[in-house]
Amino acid sequence: MRVLLIGANGYLGRYVADRLLADPAVQLTALGRGDDADVRFDLATGSPGALTRFLDAVHPGVVVNCAGATRGGARDLTRHNTVAVATICESLRRSGCGARLVHLGCASEYGPSQPGSSTAEDAVPRPGGPYGVSKLAATELVLGSGLDAVVLRIFSPVGPGTPAGSPLGRLAEAMRRAMQSGDSELKLGGLGVQRDFVDVRDVARAVHAASLSAAQGVVNIGTGRAVRLREAASVLARVAGFGGALHELDSPPARLVIPGPSTEHPVGSPPATYPYPDGCGTWQQADVRTARDRLGWRPRIVLEESLADIWMEAACRI
């Protein structure tokens, strides 16, 4: 099976590439903007015609799109998350390869959810920010393309390689700094947010399963369990061997606040705040029955293992 992987160098794409390469039946070609891609192509600026010619030459049976941007202004997010997907869909329509498209969406497309609820694929999307809007627009392009396509809506991915700017990445970095400086306490805020954390290696398994399946439409990829950031911080402290106290600051529920090395701030100057960028409010939890029924997929890696891997990378910076 010839698979064209777009975005192989990204956080999710690296693990998808590893998973596909482990399948001896897969012949993988990576397309991206970096020098280490098999084929260099910028979806945000490249033409559908150029990509069509490449598709006709390679003739993949499956195209997996892991490319996209998570940060930036509305213009950049639209270019990298929406226009890029429009290019992929138009190129596949023009091409004679007849490839199946597996596109990675995200839970931000749903927006905030009612606390205690599980979000199923038929929920009405109400994204809470430009990132979710740009990803939802891409999903709608895929679903309306007439292609053999499935959209995997990934909830909150964690595990090795977690970006330092993500909430759990920032938690690990704050803990590393505290341990390095010998602090006996760590002050954090905004730990009331609850998310459905799914390991990136389980996400890669889901992509592999979707590539081989006949499933179409939208499929949630999560664990089916929301975890409070406060709980994740406690687990991270345990796996890191941090014996100090965790003190939660009084801060807005959708923000993670980590004071700098000094806990003193000039009068009138608030501590640095880092908004959770997904626009999903205080709660998100996936209904994952469709993934189980249509992909034969279930998550395998528990959050403690994911956090241990995040800490291992952070500890290497000590």
Kindly list the distances between the CA atom of residue 192 and the CA atoms of 114, 195, 211, 228, 254, in Å, as whole numbers in the listed order. Answer: 15, 10, 36, 6, 8
Cα 40 from Cα 45, distance rounded (Å): 12
Name the region of 72 (left: φ>0; alpha: ψ -120 to 50; beta: rest). Answer: left
Cα 219 from Cα 37, distance rounded (Å): 28
Cα 154 from Cα 219, distance rounded (Å): 9
Looking at per-residue confidence, does 19 or 246 come out higher? Answer: 19
Q: What is the mean pLDDT of the chain?
A: 89
pLDDT at residue number 309: 96
Which band of pLDDT confidence, cut at 50, 70 and 90, is reported for residue 277? low
pLDDT at residue number 264: 32
Fold that domain 2-159+197-225+284-300 belongs to in CATH: Rossmann fold (3.40.50)
pLDDT at residue number 275: 44
Query: Is pLDDT above 80 for 259?
Result: no
Residue 226 makes CB contacts below 8 A (sequence gap 6+) with: 194, 195, 196, 283, 284, 285
Kindly list the distances between the CA atom of residue 309 and the CA atoms of 172, 194, 253, 301, in Å, as whole numbers in the listed order. Answer: 10, 20, 26, 11
Query: Is pLDDT above 70 for 253?
Result: no
Q: What count of residues does the chain have?
A: 318
Q: What is the pLDDT of residues 101-137, one digit of tens each?
A: 999 999 999 999 999 999 999 999 999 999 999 999 9
pLDDT at residue number 269: 30
What count of other Cβ atoms lies within 10 Å of the Cβ of residue 266?
Answer: 6
- Domain ranges, ordered by start, for the chain: 2-159+197-225+284-300
